Amino acid sequence: MNVPLPDYRVYHQIETYIYDDVGYRFRSGQPINAHDFFCIIIWKANRAKSKEYTRLMLRRLQGERTIDDVITRVVLSLRQATNARERINILLNDFGFRFPIATAILSVFYPEDFTIYDVRVAGELGNLPDPGAVRDNNERWNRYSRYLDGVRQCCHDNNLPSLRDADRWLWGRSVCLQLNDDLERGFV
Protein backbone atom coordinates (compact mmCIF):
# COMPACT_ATOMS: atom_id res chain seq x y z
CA MET A 1 0.00 0.00 0.00
CA ASN A 2 1.43 3.38 -1.00
CA VAL A 3 1.06 6.07 1.63
CA PRO A 4 1.12 9.54 0.10
CA LEU A 5 3.92 11.80 1.27
CA PRO A 6 2.91 14.99 3.03
CA ASP A 7 3.03 18.21 1.07
CA TYR A 8 6.23 19.60 2.55
CA ARG A 9 5.62 22.96 0.88
CA VAL A 10 3.43 23.93 3.85
CA TYR A 11 6.60 24.29 5.93
CA HIS A 12 8.03 26.84 3.50
CA GLN A 13 5.20 29.19 4.44
CA ILE A 14 4.99 28.03 8.03
CA GLU A 15 3.10 31.12 9.20
CA THR A 16 0.24 30.29 6.86
CA TYR A 17 0.29 26.67 8.00
CA ILE A 18 0.18 27.46 11.71
CA TYR A 19 -2.50 30.16 11.46
CA ASP A 20 -4.71 28.45 8.89
CA ASP A 21 -4.30 24.76 9.72
CA VAL A 22 -3.05 24.43 13.30
CA GLY A 23 -5.08 27.40 14.57
CA TYR A 24 -8.22 26.14 12.86
CA ARG A 25 -7.80 22.67 14.38
CA PHE A 26 -7.32 24.17 17.83
CA ARG A 27 -10.42 26.38 17.54
CA SER A 28 -12.52 23.49 16.24
CA GLY A 29 -11.61 21.33 19.24
CA GLN A 30 -9.31 18.92 17.43
CA PRO A 31 -6.16 17.60 19.09
CA ILE A 32 -2.87 19.46 18.65
CA ASN A 33 0.23 17.31 18.69
CA ALA A 34 3.80 18.24 19.59
CA HIS A 35 4.80 18.49 15.93
CA ASP A 36 2.26 21.20 15.21
CA PHE A 37 2.80 22.94 18.54
CA PHE A 38 6.53 23.13 17.89
CA CYS A 39 5.88 24.54 14.42
CA ILE A 40 4.62 27.62 16.28
CA ILE A 41 7.73 27.75 18.46
CA ILE A 42 10.05 27.29 15.46
CA TRP A 43 8.23 30.03 13.58
CA LYS A 44 8.59 32.48 16.47
CA ALA A 45 12.05 31.54 17.74
CA ASN A 46 13.74 28.58 16.07
CA ARG A 47 16.77 29.02 18.32
CA ALA A 48 14.61 28.33 21.39
CA LYS A 49 13.04 25.02 20.36
CA SER A 50 15.37 22.74 22.33
CA LYS A 51 15.12 24.91 25.47
CA GLU A 52 11.33 24.94 25.23
CA TYR A 53 11.28 21.17 24.73
CA THR A 54 13.49 20.62 27.78
CA ARG A 55 11.47 23.09 29.88
CA LEU A 56 8.22 21.32 28.99
CA MET A 57 9.63 17.85 29.65
CA LEU A 58 10.78 19.01 33.09
CA ARG A 59 7.18 20.02 33.82
CA ARG A 60 5.74 16.57 33.12
CA LEU A 61 3.19 15.34 35.59
CA GLN A 62 2.93 11.78 36.82
CA GLY A 63 1.80 9.60 33.94
CA GLU A 64 3.04 11.97 31.23
CA ARG A 65 5.81 10.19 29.38
CA THR A 66 6.11 12.02 26.08
CA ILE A 67 6.16 15.56 24.80
CA ASP A 68 2.78 14.86 23.18
CA ASP A 69 1.38 14.12 26.66
CA VAL A 70 2.61 17.51 27.92
CA ILE A 71 1.29 19.36 24.85
CA THR A 72 -2.09 17.71 25.35
CA ARG A 73 -2.14 19.18 28.87
CA VAL A 74 -1.09 22.61 27.60
CA VAL A 75 -3.88 22.60 25.02
CA LEU A 76 -6.48 21.34 27.49
CA SER A 77 -5.44 23.98 30.04
CA LEU A 78 -5.84 26.74 27.47
CA ARG A 79 -9.22 25.45 26.35
CA GLN A 80 -10.47 25.27 29.94
CA ALA A 81 -9.35 28.81 30.81
CA THR A 82 -12.16 31.32 30.93
CA ASN A 83 -10.40 34.46 29.69
CA ALA A 84 -7.36 35.86 27.92
CA ARG A 85 -5.56 36.89 31.08
CA GLU A 86 -5.86 33.38 32.51
CA ARG A 87 -4.57 31.88 29.26
CA ILE A 88 -1.40 33.94 29.21
CA ASN A 89 -0.74 33.22 32.87
CA ILE A 90 -1.10 29.49 32.24
CA LEU A 91 1.59 29.56 29.57
CA LEU A 92 3.92 31.80 31.58
CA ASN A 93 3.45 30.45 35.08
CA ASP A 94 2.40 26.83 34.66
CA PHE A 95 4.50 25.94 31.63
CA GLY A 96 7.37 28.44 31.83
CA PHE A 97 7.18 29.95 28.36
CA ARG A 98 8.87 33.28 27.70
CA PHE A 99 6.51 36.15 26.93
CA PRO A 100 7.08 36.44 23.15
CA ILE A 101 6.62 32.70 22.60
CA ALA A 102 3.54 32.60 24.85
CA THR A 103 1.93 35.38 22.84
CA ALA A 104 2.88 33.68 19.56
CA ILE A 105 1.12 30.50 20.69
CA LEU A 106 -1.93 32.42 21.83
CA SER A 107 -2.07 34.51 18.64
CA VAL A 108 -2.35 31.28 16.63
CA PHE A 109 -5.00 29.76 18.88
CA TYR A 110 -6.91 32.99 19.68
CA PRO A 111 -6.18 35.43 16.82
CA GLU A 112 -8.99 37.81 17.80
CA ASP A 113 -7.70 38.20 21.36
CA PHE A 114 -3.89 38.07 21.10
CA THR A 115 -1.07 39.37 19.01
CA ILE A 116 2.60 38.52 19.21
CA TYR A 117 4.73 40.64 21.49
CA ASP A 118 7.69 41.88 19.45
CA VAL A 119 10.24 44.55 20.36
CA ARG A 120 10.11 46.05 16.85
CA VAL A 121 6.36 46.47 17.11
CA ALA A 122 6.67 47.84 20.66
CA GLY A 123 9.10 50.42 19.29
CA GLU A 124 6.65 51.45 16.59
CA LEU A 125 3.97 51.85 19.26
CA GLY A 126 6.12 54.28 21.24
CA ASN A 127 8.56 52.01 23.07
CA LEU A 128 5.97 50.54 25.39
CA PRO A 129 7.45 48.76 28.43
CA ASP A 130 8.22 45.07 27.91
CA PRO A 131 5.53 42.90 29.59
CA GLY A 132 7.97 40.01 29.83
CA ALA A 133 10.35 42.08 31.95
CA VAL A 134 8.12 41.85 35.03
CA ARG A 135 6.97 38.85 37.04
CA ASP A 136 3.89 40.37 38.61
CA ASN A 137 0.87 38.96 36.72
CA ASN A 138 -1.15 42.17 37.05
CA GLU A 139 1.60 44.49 35.84
CA ARG A 140 2.51 42.11 33.04
CA TRP A 141 -1.14 41.99 31.90
CA ASN A 142 -1.45 45.78 32.12
CA ARG A 143 1.63 46.26 29.97
CA TYR A 144 0.46 43.71 27.41
CA SER A 145 -3.01 45.29 27.34
CA ARG A 146 -1.46 48.66 26.42
CA TYR A 147 0.55 46.93 23.70
CA LEU A 148 -2.56 45.14 22.42
CA ASP A 149 -4.52 48.39 22.43
CA GLY A 150 -1.79 49.96 20.28
CA VAL A 151 -1.96 47.13 17.75
CA ARG A 152 -5.76 47.36 17.68
CA GLN A 153 -5.49 51.12 17.07
CA CYS A 154 -3.15 50.40 14.15
CA CYS A 155 -5.81 48.05 12.74
CA HIS A 156 -8.36 50.83 12.93
CA ASP A 157 -6.11 53.65 11.68
CA ASN A 158 -4.83 51.70 8.68
CA ASN A 159 -8.02 49.80 7.83
CA LEU A 160 -6.37 46.44 8.48
CA PRO A 161 -8.60 43.37 8.87
CA SER A 162 -6.85 41.61 11.77
CA LEU A 163 -4.43 41.95 14.64
CA ARG A 164 -1.99 39.80 12.69
CA ASP A 165 -2.14 42.19 9.74
CA ALA A 166 -1.52 45.17 12.04
CA ASP A 167 1.39 43.29 13.63
CA ARG A 168 2.88 42.66 10.18
CA TRP A 169 2.32 46.29 9.17
CA LEU A 170 4.05 47.67 12.27
CA TRP A 171 6.91 45.19 12.01
CA GLY A 172 7.32 45.98 8.32
CA ARG A 173 7.35 49.72 8.97
CA SER A 174 10.09 49.23 11.56
CA VAL A 175 12.20 47.23 9.12
CA CYS A 176 11.66 49.75 6.31
CA LEU A 177 12.49 52.80 8.41
CA GLN A 178 15.56 51.11 9.88
CA LEU A 179 16.80 50.17 6.40
CA ASN A 180 16.28 53.72 5.13
CA ASP A 181 18.17 55.07 8.13
CA ASP A 182 20.99 52.52 7.63
CA LEU A 183 21.30 53.46 3.95
CA GLU A 184 21.35 57.15 4.76
CA ARG A 185 24.15 56.60 7.29
CA GLY A 186 26.01 54.14 5.07
CA PHE A 187 25.39 51.28 7.54
CA VAL A 188 27.72 52.82 10.12
Tens digit of each residue's pLDDT (9 = 90 or more) over 135-181: 999 999 999 999 999 999 999 999 999 999 999 999 999 999 999 99
Interatomic CA distance for residues 49 and 142, integer angstroms: 28
pTM for the full model?
A: 0.94
Q: What is the DSSP string of 103-127?
A: HHHHHHH-TTT-----HHHHHHTT-
Tens digit of each residue's pLDDT (9 = 90 or more) over 90-119: 999 999 999 999 999 999 999 999 999 999
> What b/e readout covers 49-84, taking b as 16+ CB neighbours within 10 angstroms?
eeebeeebeeeeeeebeebeebbbbbbeebeebeeb
